[in-house]
Amino acid sequence: MGVPSVFVRSSGCNLRCRWCDTPYTSWHPEGDDWTLDRIWAAVEAYPARHVVVTGGEPMIAREIVELTRGLRGRGLHITVETAGTVYASVACDLMSISPKLANSTPAGEWAERHERLRIQTAVVRRLMADYDYQLKFVVAQAEDLGEVRELVGSFGAESGKVILMPEGIDAAVLRERSVWLAEICKQEGFRFSPRLHVELWGNRRGT
Ligand code: SF4
């Protein structure tokens, strides 16, 4: 957080989080097809040397491997943000894995599929083994911590690489949740992450 970065956002996701903050990439995917050359040129037009490849779920995007290899060839530092349900041999300096907790499961026709897919332990462990990583959990209530502890144990993750982030798209809600979540981080030895883009610009597309 805090490093000036260009974001490349793919559209399309294999999950349907109840509180998804980019529904235009999951529940109602939209966007235009861009060639790799166009994406690389757009990224290079910015002065930032860090690029974050996100989604949606970028690991299911067509040509994701070629995209990241081209970014690497241009000397950029690459972070990939993924829910950790699908493996791809991307070029990546920091794998930001965000397995989705039970608080993400929606009601309705997507519930069963989301619940079945959201935790893929073998995929997460392989990503952790192959890349420098961080493990990020979106926490909505203090009761979520039981599941976080269980997953951190089953993945065999170092607590110093675990990040807790409050769920929310409203600055007032995030402030309230941040207070108790920061205390939990102190107790557990996890890292805390605010949602800086919401604090700075509000819940707006393009930020
Ligand atoms: S994994 Fe990410 S993009 Fe997909 S539904 Fe959940 S929050 Fe939205």
Residues 6 or more apart whose CB falls under 8 angstroms from that of 108 comprise none
pLDDT at 1: 86
Pocket test for ligand 1, best of 9, 10, 14, 15 (most atoms within 8 A of CB): 15
Give me the amino acid identity at 57. Answer: E
| Alpha carbon nearest to ligand 1 atom 7, residue | 20
* 168 CA distance to ligand 1 middle (Å): 13
| Rounded distance between C-alpha atoms, residue 153 and residue 40, angstroms | 38
* 81 CA distance to ligand 1 middle (Å): 10
Residues 6 or more apart whose CB falls under 8 angstroms from that of 182 comprise 192
Pocket test for ligand 1, best of 7, 10, 14, 17 (most atoms within 8 A of CB): 17
Is 77 in a helix, a strand, or coil?
strand
Residue with tokens 């997953």: 151
| Rounded distance between C-alpha atoms, residue 51 and residue 67, angstroms | 12
Residues 6 or more apart whose CB falls under 8 angstroms from that of 81 comprise 52, 53, 54, 55, 58, 96, 98
Q: Contact at 8 Å (CB) between 100 and 15?
A: yes
Q: Contact at 8 Å (CB) between 95 and 77?
A: no
Pocket test for ligand 1, best of 10, 19, 22 (most atoms within 8 A of CB): 22
Atom number in ligand 1 closest to CA 19: 7
| Rounded distance between C-alpha atoms, residue 34 and residue 14, angstroms | 20
* 191: β partners: 163
E-strand spans in 11-161? Answer: 50-54, 77-82, 94-97, 133-139
Q: What would the two tokens of residue 39 be? A: 């994406």
Atom number in ligand 1 closest to CA 56: 3
Atom number in ligand 1 closest to CA 25: 3
| Rounded distance between C-alpha atoms, residue 176 and residue 139, angstroms | 12
Map 81-99 to HEC letters.
EECCCCCCCCCCCEEEECC
Give me the amino acid identity at 164. Answer: L
Residues with CB under 6 A from ligand 1: 13, 15-17, 20, 22, 25-26, 55-57, 83, 100
| Rounded distance between C-alpha atoms, residue 16 and residue 126, angstroms | 23
Per-residue pLDDT of the chain (207 residues; tens, 9 = 90+): 889 999 999 999 999 999 999 999 999 999 999 999 999 999 999 999 999 999 999 999 999 999 999 999 999 999 999 999 999 999 999 999 999 999 999 999 999 999 999 999 999 999 999 999 999 999 999 999 999 999 999 999 999 999 999 999 988 999 999 999 999 999 999 999 999 988 888 888 887
Pocket test for ligand 1, best of 14, 24, 25, 138 (most atoms within 8 A of CB): 25
pLDDT at 136: 98
What's CA 37's distance to the chain center, in Å? 25
